[in-house]
Amino acid sequence: MYTQALNAAETQPETRSAEDAAMAARFQARIDAEQRIEPNDAMPEAYRRTLIRQISQHAHSEIVGMLPEGNWITRAPSLRRKAALLAKVQDEGGHGLYLYAAAETLGVAREALVEQLLRGEAKYSSIFNYPTLTWADIGVIGWLVDGAAIMNQIPLCRCSYGPYARAMIRICKEESFHQRQGFEIMLTLCRGSAAQKAMAQDALDRWWWPVLMMFGPPDPESRHGQQSSAWKIKRFSNDELRQKFIDATVPQAQFLGLAIPDPELRFDPAAGHWRTGPIDWAEFEAVLAGHGPCNRERLAARRRAHEEGAWVRDAARAHAEKQRRAKDLAA
Ligand code: FAQ
C-alpha cells in the first residue's frame, strides 16, 4: 500500500495492486537516482514502517544508552572527566530527541513510541544491556560502542530518507567527540599503573564480543537487510560494517597495548582483513529476548524516570494551555 506519510488513510485492497506496482517502480527509480525521500512524498507503506522501526529503535537506544554511563557521572575520577561525561550523556539524550522527531515526520506519535519501549515491546541496541562495572568501562564505551555507532551511522548520513539522513549528520559529529574521549580515557589507563592497565584489559575482555554483536545478525540472518539496502536506507550490510570496524579497531588495541580477547584473531593478508573467531549468536539472541545481564534493570529505570517525569509533562501542558488562552484573549 502507498501512503502520504502524514496522511496515511487505509485504501481498499482490491483497488490498490496495479496502481501500487506502478508507484513502487516509480519510487524505486527515485531511490536508484539517489533522490531524497521527504515526509510528504508518496512512499510504500513498507518503506514507512521500516523507517519507523529502525529510527525508533535507534532513538530508544540513545535514551537507554544514557543509563550505563549515567551510572558513573557521580564517580568520575576528576572534574574534567565528570564534565566530559555529563556532556556526552546529555548529547545521547539530544540524539534520542532528534530521532524521535525524525520518526514523527513519518506520521507516528512520539508518545506511542515511548509507550512501546516502556511496555517492553520495542527493541533497543543489545549493547546497553551490559553493566558498567569499572571506570574503564566508560573508556571502552566511548572507544568501542561509539566507535561502532559511528561506523554504522556515517553511511546513514546518506540514507534515502531526508529527515533521518540530516539528523545523522549532527549525531555523527557528536559521536566522534564521544569516541575520542573514550579512547583518551583508555590511553590514560594504559599508560598508568599496572592496576589501571589491568582494569582497561578487563573492560575490553567483557565488551569486545557484545560490541561486535551491535552490528546485527550475520547477513544471511538479517531479515530486513536486503530490502533496506534496495531502498538505500542501509548502504552497507551488517557483516560489511562489522568487518570495517574490526579492521579499524585491532590496530587501535595494539597501539594501546591491549589484547583482543580472541585466540583465533588473525590477519588475512590475501584479503587485507582481520578475521575473528566465531561470534556467540546465542548470547545475542538471549539479550534480544530480554535475558541479558541488565535488560530488566534498564526498563525499570526508564519506567521510573517516566513516572517521576509526569509532573514535568503536566506542567508543560498547563503552560502551553495558559499561553494559548493568553493568545486567544489578546486576539
Ligand atoms: N540490538 O534484519 P536486521 C549508539 C534486530 S546507537 C538489538 O539486520 P536491520 C549511540 C533488528 O532490529 C546504537 N536488536 O535489522 C550510543 C531486527 O529486529 P526487528 C543503535 C538488533 O534493522 C553510544 C532483527 O534484529 N544504532 O550506540 C540489533 O536491517 C554510546 C534482525 O536484524 C542504531 O540503531 C542489536 N544490536 O539492521 C548511545 C543504528 N541488531 O526489528 C549511548 C540504526 C539487529 O525485526 C552510548 N540501525 N537487531 O524486531 C541500524 O543500522 C539497523 O537497524 C541495524 C540492524 C544494523 C542495527
Residues 189-199: tens digit of each pLDDT: 999 999 999 99
pLDDT, position 264? 98
Query: What's the average model confidence in pLDDT over 227-253?
Result: 98
pLDDT, position 21? 87
Residue 67 to residue 326: CA distance in whole angstroms? 39
Cβ of 61 closer than 6 Å to ligand 1, yes or no, is yes
Q: Which helix (H) or strand (E) holds 2?
A: strand 2-4
Closest by CA to 264, choosing from 214, 212, 222, 219, is 212
241 C-alpha vs ligand 1 centroid, how far in Å? 12
Identify whether the C-beta of residue 194 lies closer than 8 Å to the C-beta of residue 202.
no
217 C-alpha vs ligand 1 centroid, how far in Å? 9
pLDDT, position 5? 45
- Binned at pLDDT 50, 70 and 90, residue 19 comes out as confident
- Binned at pLDDT 50, 70 and 90, residue 20 comes out as confident
Q: How would DSSP label each residue in 259-296?
A: --S-TT-EEETTTTEEE-----HHHHHHIIIIISTTHH
How high does pLDDT run on average in the chain? 95
pLDDT, position 331? 85
Cβ of 302 closer than 6 Å to ligand 1, yes or no, is no
57 C-alpha vs ligand 1 centroid, how far in Å? 7
Cβ of 121 closer than 6 Å to ligand 1, yes or no, is no
Atom of ligand 1 minimally distant from the CA of 225: 29
* Number of neighbours of residue 27 by Cβ within 10 angstroms: 21
In whole angstroms, how large is the CA radius of gyration of the chain? 22
Cβ of 260 closer than 6 Å to ligand 1, yes or no, is no
Nearest CA to ligand 1 atom 12: 123
Cβ of 123 closer than 6 Å to ligand 1, yes or no, is yes
Q: Which helix (H) or strand (E) holds 42?
A: strand 42-44
Query: What's the average model confidence in pLDDT over 259-275?
Result: 98
Nearest CA to ligand 1 atom 48: 216
7 C-alpha vs ligand 1 centroid, how far in Å? 28
Cβ of 186 closer than 6 Å to ligand 1, yes or no, is no
pLDDT, position 15? 63
**DSSP-based helix, strand, coil % in the chain, nearest 5:** 70, 5, 25
125 C-alpha vs ligand 1 centroid, how far in Å? 6
Q: What is the pLDDT of residues 121-167, one digit of tens each?
A: 999 999 999 999 999 999 999 999 999 999 999 999 999 999 999 99
